[in-house]
Amino acid sequence: MKMLAHSCGLDAPMPIGLSTARLRRFGAVIGVPLSTDGKLAMSNQAPAFWQTVPASFSIEPRAYRTSTWSAHVPFAFWLIETLRPAQFVELGTWHGMSYLAFCQAMEAFETDTKAFAVDTWQGDPQAGSLSSDAFNSLRQAHDPHYARFSKLMRMTFDEAALQFTDGSIDLLHIDGLHTYEAVRNDFETWLPRLSQRAVVIFHDTQVRERDFGVYRLWAELTQRYAGFEFHHEHGLGVLGVGSNLPEGIRNLFAATSEPQAADRVRQLFDSLGKAVRTKQVLKETQQGWDDLKSNLGVRAVMKAQRVAGLAR
């Protein structure tokens, strides 16, 4: 039995786990009221992107990791539900917040995706260095749940590209070094590996400080391909490279031609993303408090031992 339905009809009941409050938020953003029976009073005249309530809205993240990507997790869930990629590659995984979210959705929707995370787990000049235990920490969160269909590839992006055949990747997430030259090289190196259904996503499209250059490449690519950009959480660009994209993805890109519809899409995922971000901050605060109490406890024990030693 599938954990979640692949899609919901206009008069379908709420997906498993989708609260009335969250459904009402969805309806409020798109301008559709919630009826008394807990369904959205949609009509066939609604914009194409809003013809169904995504089942992915019912998923809560299993893992919260240190990240500046957390607020895009709801979109990651929706993207997997809609695209159902046969093969997914992420370039730049860091602590794994985005990658684990993608994997969680693949498991929930039983997409039979083969997933690969590529990173050296050493850091880079922009993001800084990673601690020596970052990779092992990610493995502990990843392997018990996803190792049967997902692989962590500890190598450079160029090295990994040699291990994939042309036309084999349906979803590519580029989130490594963010200079213009680096991200352009990543895109051009992996472009031949993309399929006719391929979508490429770029993080940090809204960052214009230091030597970040994703926004420059994004501006160039959207002259050649259909795309949609989210502005929250440093920006996320969604690019339709393939010529045979699923209807849901095409509807997302079509929203860019209607400013009001595009704003509603952004507002919705921003709202859902803020809820994830808030939970992440709360968990990090709690962890910091627990660590502080643990350190204070250790110090108290050490002090007591010193006092006992002096008393002898």
| Residue 143 predicted with pLDDT over 50 | yes
Query: pLDDT at residue 300 above 50?
Result: yes
- What's the Rg (C-alpha) of the chain? 22
Q: Is residue 242 in a domain?
A: yes
- What is the tens place of the pLDDT at every residue in 226-262? 999 999 989 999 999 999 999 999 999 999 998 888 9
Q: Please report whether residue 303 resides in a domain.
A: no
Query: pLDDT tier at 190 (50, 70, 90 boundaries)?
Result: very high
Q: What pLDDT, on the 0 to 100 scale, is given for residue 66?
A: 66
27 pLDDT exceeds 80? Answer: no
Return the pLDDT at 279: 80
Q: Would 16 be classed as within a structural domain? A: no
pLDDT at 81 over 90: yes
| pLDDT above 60: residue 17 | no
> Quick check: is 127 in a domain?
yes
Quick check: is 281 in a domain? no
Residue 197 resides in a domain: yes
CATH of the domain at 248: 3.40.50.150
Residue 5 scores a pLDDT above 50: no
In a domain, 146, yes or no: yes
**Domain count for the chain:** 1
pLDDT exceeds cutoff 90 at 225: yes
CA distance 100 to 271: 21
* Global confidence as pTM: 0.78
Q: Which domain holds residue 187?
A: 59-256
For residue 214, report the phi and psi dihedrals to the nearest 5 degrees: -60, -40
User: Who contacts 279 (Cβ-Cβ below 8 Å, separation ≥6)?
Assistant: 61, 64
Does 3 reside within a domain? no
Specify burial of residue 293 (Cβ count, 10 A radius: 0-12, 13-18, 19+). exposed
